Amino acid sequence: MPARKSHLEFVKVNLDEGWEVPPGYPPGFTQKILASDIDETAKRGSRTRLLRVAPGAFSTEPFVHDHWEEVYLVQGDLVVGNDKTGAGGQQCFAPTYACRPPGVPHGPFTSRAGCILHEIHYYETSGAKR
């Protein structure tokens, strides 16, 4: 299991470097992990990240997670529900927010001008079932 999250007090976040492609994501989607102790095999822990979508990048299939996901569109635009060529869908602009329980399909996504999302992924503890 990953180590517990560290205590961080307003550390500088470099938005110019340190981005990586998340496993299974299409080209143009990159993430910067801010803090994480998530264990997706054991289904516990949480992750806080920035997700960046380059202008014109798009996914072609909906995403489905087995954890909660909270998403805040920090800057730019995000298009929800595009087709397999990246066309169509409903465009939204920062600031907007989404909260999704486990198992809810969402997307596909694109961004016309590019965007940065702040995301929190977490599994519920056994004592916090809804």
Question: Looking at residue 94, which CATH number applies to its domain?
Answer: 2.60.120.10
Mean per-residue pLDDT for 91-96? 98
Number of domains the chain is built from: 1
Residue 87 scores a pLDDT above 70: yes
Residue 21 included in any domain: no
Cβ neighbors of 111 (< 8 A, separation 6 or more) are 53, 54, 55, 56, 57, 76, 77, 78, 79
pLDDT at 1: 45
Q: Is this structure's pTM higher than 0.85? A: yes
Cis peptide before 108 (omega within 30 of 0): yes
Domain that holds residue 76: 31-125
- Cα–Cα–Cα angle for 63, 76, 38, rounded to 5 degrees: 40
pLDDT at 58: 98
Residue 60 scores a pLDDT above 60: yes
Residue 88 included in any domain: yes
pLDDT tens for 1-54 read 456 788 999 999 999 999 999 999 999 999 999 999 999 999 999 999 999 999
pLDDT at 2: 56
What does the mean pLDDT of the chain come to? Answer: 93
Residue 6 included in any domain: no
Residue 73 included in any domain: yes
Amino acid, res. 29: F
pLDDT at 3: 65
